[in-house]
Chain A
Amino acid sequence: MPLRTARTAPYLFLAPFVLSFLIFGAYPIVRSVMLSFYITSGPEAQHFVGLDNYLHLLQDPDFWTAVRNTATFALGSVLLQLPLSLGLALLLNRADIRGRNVFRFIFFSPNLMGLVFSALLFMLILAPRFGLLNAALHALFGLPSTTRWLSTPGLVMPALIMVALWLYTGFNMVYFLAALQAVDGELYEAATIDGAGRWAQFRHVTLPGIRPVLIFVVVLSTIGSFQLFELAFLLLGNSSGPDQAGLTIVMYLYQNGFLGGDLGYAAAIGWTLALMVLLLALVQLRITGTGKEAR
């Protein structure tokens, strides 16, 4: 009898997952592919158009604006966040630093605010006349305190990148710290005996040691950046900023599907986004040579 239950038990235990996956995973995936071949207005009226949504998307200037903005954001965030978070992790990983845990907590603390509430806070920090940023820039460098960060086209993306930097640097640092602590200390001793300097040690011991985590963080940050929505939406509103300077891919999806009611076009935008994210991840893995090792 116990043997029998042990045989059926795992299936029963997994039943909620399987059921929920079928309803809220598999079905929407299939349905989303289908939807992308339709023009819809709301969940009721639908009209089959084949590949038209995708063809239209390729010629849709607004979509390309969104792609450009999103790519700028992703590139800016990854290029600034990763070196900074790795640098901080290296500093905090030194044994002779006092208050390591305090620093670690402080660097992580913006993350406790969460994306949405950070955006609400930065809405006021970035405000032109009474915002903290302008006040600080004025006090430190004598810059005018009237900079309109969120209504000057060229400043919108830098502002978003800055908020993301504030929010996620400490989060990535936690990953890097964990990776650094897992690097075998004896390797450093051996390198020192061989006469390797700090830079040589970093290149030949540290970097190879943390490579899997480094790649993990790069790929994850890129994927996450490509799904930027909340920051842009909360800081800029439905209109996506001056000259659509803050229009991101997911925001464009939202505008078409949920303000415009065309779920079909939204689905096509979604799959195009998925394809871009997949390609980017593959390229990044290829460049770093991750696939080869596994084989």
Chain B
Amino acid sequence: MRRMVVYTLLVLFALLCLVPIAWLAASAFKANADFHVYPVLPPVDRLTLANFTSLFTQMPFLRFMMNSFFVAGATVILQLFFSSLGGFALAKYDFAGKKTVMGVMLATMMIPGPVLLAPMYELIYHMGLIDSHLGLIVPGMVNVFGMFLFRQSMLSVPDEMLQAARIDGCNEFQIFWHVVMPVSRPIVGAFCLIAFMGTWNSFLWPQIILQSSDRFTLPIGLNQMIGVYEADYGAMMAGTLLAVLPVVALFFLLQKEFIAGLTKGAVKG
């Protein structure tokens, strides 16, 4: 009896989680006229691919998607390299100023992002990077949270491995690249997913600095489409569906690492 109650609660909440997503999937194939007729699901024979075709033929959806892939890809690669390198230094070396660096990192994470919007805008303006993808990529090259993540995981790499590599004639960068990074693969996976999700979904900063529609990323572009192609609900939902697919795909690829990485700091800390 008690188990029945538990399962009922779990299934109920599962439905609450899934129904909006299922509705998104259904709406992406719904003709605009049918939104008013069938609020939930139209009969299967009324489903259509027209929303997807119009996304690519009448709207600059492909452009938005390519922009998003470029910005997110570049950001993730840069963040991965710089954050893992910094995390490695903090995990495996003793040096003067280490405590200061750690303190500064902690302090940086405490300051709410919106505080820096005004001066960052000014800075990017003076750098001539307004309305450019570089203006999105450059300020986010180093991810402090990522540096902590890498430091935590690299602490557990045994020093003997580093010593052995040194004796074999590796220089310090080779040790990082050929010895430590390969054994850190799970955390690399977790980090890539976290960083990708963050960039892919980022809205406020791109909304502030992007102006020309041919540079828009997906979140900005889709939101703009609401105004320009008014009442094209089907296309909106088709675009939203396509926009979340890359994250879902990456999640399925990396989900084990992701959950471990997400909870690592919280549980041990």
Which residues of chain A have a CB within 8 Å of any CB of chain B? 2, 5-7, 9-11, 13-14, 16-18, 20-21, 23-25, 27-29, 31-32, 35, 43, 88, 91-92, 94, 96-97, 103, 105-107, 109-110, 112-117, 120-125, 129-132, 134-135, 145, 166, 170, 174-175, 178-179, 182, 212-213, 216-217, 223, 226-227, 229-230, 233-234, 249-250, 253-254, 257-258, 263-264, 266-267, 270-271, 273-274, 277-278
Q: Does B18 contact A (CB under 8 A)?
A: yes
Q: Is the CB of A122 within 8 A of B269?
A: no
Q: Is the CB of B123 within 8 A of A31?
A: yes
Q: Is the CB of A117 within 8 A of B201?
A: yes
Stretch at the interface among B43-51, B54-62, B183-191, B241-249: B241-249
> Which residues on B sit within 8 Å (CB–CB) of A103?
10, 14
Q: How large is the interface on B (under 10, 10 to 19, 20 to 34, 35 or more residues)?
A: 35 or more
* 12 additional A-B residue pairs with CB within 8 Å, beyond A24-B120, A178-B263: A13-B86, A14-B101, A29-B111, A29-B115, A43-B121, A110-B17, A113-B244, A124-B233, A132-B20, A227-B114, A254-B117, A254-B208
> Which residues on B sit within 8 Å (CB–CB) of A16?
82, 85-86, 141-142
> Which residues on B sit within 8 Å (CB–CB) of A116?
201-203, 219, 223
> Which residues on A sit within 8 Å (CB–CB) of B18?
106, 109
> Which residues on B sit within 8 Å (CB–CB) of A263?
118-119, 121-122
> Which residues on A sit within 8 Å (CB–CB) of B118?
32, 35, 257, 263-264, 266-267, 270
Q: Is the CB of A277 within 8 A of B17?
A: no
Q: Is the CB of B13 within 8 A of A107?
A: yes
Q: Does B27 contact A (CB under 8 A)?
A: yes
> Which residues on B sit within 8 Å (CB–CB) of A28?
116, 119-120, 123
Known: A117-B201, A263-B122, A267-B119. A124 touches B10 (CB 8 A): no
**Consensus secondary structure, chain B interface:** helix
> Which residues on B sit within 8 Å (CB–CB) of A216?
266, 269
> Which residues on B sit within 8 Å (CB–CB) of A105?
255
> Which residues on A sit within 8 Å (CB–CB) of B200?
114
> Which residues on A sit within 8 Å (CB–CB) of B134?
none
Q: In the bound complex, how far is the Cα of B171 from the Cα of A255, in angstroms?
A: 52
Q: Is the CB of A21 within 8 A of B3?
A: no
Q: Does B35 contact A (CB under 8 A)?
A: yes
Q: In the bound complex, how far is the Cα of B266 from the Cα of A212, in angstroms?
A: 8
Closest to B115 in A: A270
Chain B window 219-230, contacts with chain A (Cβ cutoff 8 Å), 1 for yes, 0 for no: 100110010000
Q: Does B158 contact A (CB under 8 A)?
A: no
